[in-house]
Structure 1
């Protein structure tokens, strides 16, 4: 393909594939824990880190990692307390994060609307080689954590009280999950943007759930769907001159719709086939004994 002869397209494709593999690997734990939208909140906080990076003329990826990790740890500590005021505290943190980010981006020396939009909605075509290296290293760290700690993280997300009774370090595992969420949001901001990052965490998992049942099978299928959506989205966006991040998300949603409809039809046909087989089955022989 002629498109693949361009360096920026290859960098965009590599970055998208890393996120397509990493985001669902983490997202399955968030879905299991009913925290599907936590990525949006962490994304708001990460925008402050982007603003700090632009203001100090440093790499926004690294400053966003630091700020979003601190925000994620704060979110986990508030959630752990479980008080009614927790929702208010999280709202203040999330909205304060996005407001602070917009202000800091506006104060930066090279502030433009484009510089803000490329972090809100992604800008794969402008990803530099150094940013791609950072995405690869951080993505590998997230994969090591989510795959290496899979049994323990699954236990915590499925039943936290049972995990605590079983002797698992629940607080540590929760903090690991929070930190990996922050890192995933940060590296995904160059791919799909801070406002769409939750979609790539959740939609492939939801699509995989239409055709799988076990946790490990769902994780593997979701990661495959994420990679396919990332690759397909980059190619389609290059051909149609559309935004890569939004195109990737639309491809993932299309996969969900196809699998949801196909899975529903398959289950209906299987149910009817099973019912018809039961009706046509010969009744078992009955032996009557006469005393």
Structure 2
């Protein structure tokens, strides 16, 4: 990966994404002791950063591949992102979703033009169903986080943040499947000036934290977290990038996630989902270390079930 790869990716997807705003809050700066710059991907098309990676991956396909469509398995944001990206680029999208996925997310996928294939709610069943579509339709499988074009696309949020604020000391992101933090780390390496990338992760699903400790991809036994977007694990494409370029991962408790989420809702008057609050919670947990530092935080998304708020 080079700076040119990232720049070319950013140019390629600009017609299909929003350049999201960066917001600040004097009060949250006072509470944290740091100078925080929130990159608001909750204002991205379909409500999350994943629009970037999906647009990047589809736009790289050949004409023949585009004519046969794309397939993924996802219960949430990538399902919506791939559906909308495919629609924007005139490509058919097949989305394998577990039967227990929230109806609001299924409705969103349909609204964006994706064709849903339901399956039992296990990873094995999801993969089997996606493989069947790939074989029958000739569609190209796109992984939500373990695909280099997706990773480069996710990194463009940090490129924009660093174009606006080139002297950031740190960028914090949540860690789920690893695509966002890997892309962010590449962007910080090539566009930042000694800008370190730190991940936030719930204690309840701390596979990435343990993976960095052990040097191999770890899994989770329990996934009992409110941060439903962070229940996935790292992959063999993004893990080496994370090992090389990510400084550390800070783990947070469930009550810290809810508290951070509530602060942003109350003080900034914007909607974020629980996964999105995790990096801010990580900063608050270790705030003495980041006093007076310039910190970028990627607010990853705002797709939340308003009937099921944690406060």
- Give the alignment's TM-score, normalised by structure 1: 0.29
Relative contact order (alpha carbons < 8 A, sep ≥ 6): 1 or 2 greater?
1
Is the radius of gyration larger for structure 1 or structure 2? 1
- Higher share of residues assigned helix: 1
- Higher share of residues assigned strand: 2
